[in-house]
Amino acid sequence: GAVVSQHPSRVICKSGTSVKIECRSLDFQATTMFWYRQFPKQSLMLMATSNEGSKATYEQGVEKDKFLINHASLTLSTLTVTSAHPEDSSFYICSARVGTSAYNEQFFGPGTRLTVL
């Protein structure tokens, strides 16, 4: 299957700082990537859809000025959590849709555990 990487896998930061998370499709081009947030033992919550070369589309209730998304190339999307606070602590996962697939199959990165102190 298609491989998606995420970096870093874990990050601990102080309240008020910004954190950038990278999501890369390693062996395919992804015109569309997705960013999810997940709380312990819960399902995935879609935060935003990232399209290469255009502005991200955010889900209702997600602050676009706080969660900045950039999809500058067909293999890289980044999520920047600005002015992070303890309530932003969570598991963030990205996924990429394979453009050649006839179905909306998404391949997920390994996730990033963010802890804000």
Partner 1 sequence: TQLLEQSPQFLSIQEGENLTVYCNSSSVFSSLQWYRQEPGEGPVLLVTVVTGGEVKKLKRLTFQFGDARKDSSLHITAAQPGDTGLYLCAGDGNTGKLIFGQGTTLQVKP
- Could you list the residues that contact partner 1 (CB under 8 A)? 1, 4, 6, 32, 34, 41-44, 46, 49, 91, 93, 95, 103-111, 113
Residue count of the chain, please give it.
117
* Residue ranges in 1-117 assigned as alpha helix (H): none
Cβ at position 109, least distance to partner 1 in Å: 5
Q: With respect to partner 1, which residue has the nearer C-beta, 40 or 86?
A: 40
Q: With respect to partner 1, which residue has the nearer C-beta, 43 or 100?
A: 43
Cβ at position 83, least distance to partner 1 in Å: 26
Compute the distance between CA of residue 95 and CA of residue 33 in angstroms, rounded to an integer. Answer: 6
Burial 50-74 (b: 16+ CB within 10 A, else e): bebeeebebeeebeeeebbbebeeb
Cβ at position 12, least distance to partner 1 in Å: 15
